[in-house]
Amino acid sequence: MSLNHRIVLKAVLPTDMWGRTVAWPVVSPSAKDIDTYMKWCKKNVGADNWQYYGEYKKIPFEFRFRHSEDLLAFRLTFGFLND
């Protein structure tokens, strides 16, 4: 079973039909926030059921989970309901 359920913490900027950005840039999550999320995952999800991909990856600030229930718990705990 792979880590199929994911959430990206850095928002994607909306674009218009010509590909231009239509909103101001969104600030990336702070190191303190990332540390809080990682501590929560270590405590509640388990060692092999999640993975964090950091700032310098192809898709930065991404958490992946093995089970959809863990992703749902993460979203409910930290308020990422509209992503």
Query: Which pLDDT tens digit goes with each residue over 8-65?
Result: 886 556 667 787 766 655 557 888 989 999 999 999 998 899 999 988 888 888 999 9
Locate tokens 């218009």: which residue?
Answer: 16
The domain spans of the chain are 5-78
Numbers of helices and strands, H then E, in the chain = 2, 3
d(CA 58, CA 53): 9
Say which residue, 31 or 67, is predicted with more confidence. Answer: 67
E strand or H helix at 62:
strand 62-65
SS3 51: strand
pLDDT of 71: 94
pTM metric for this prediction: 0.74
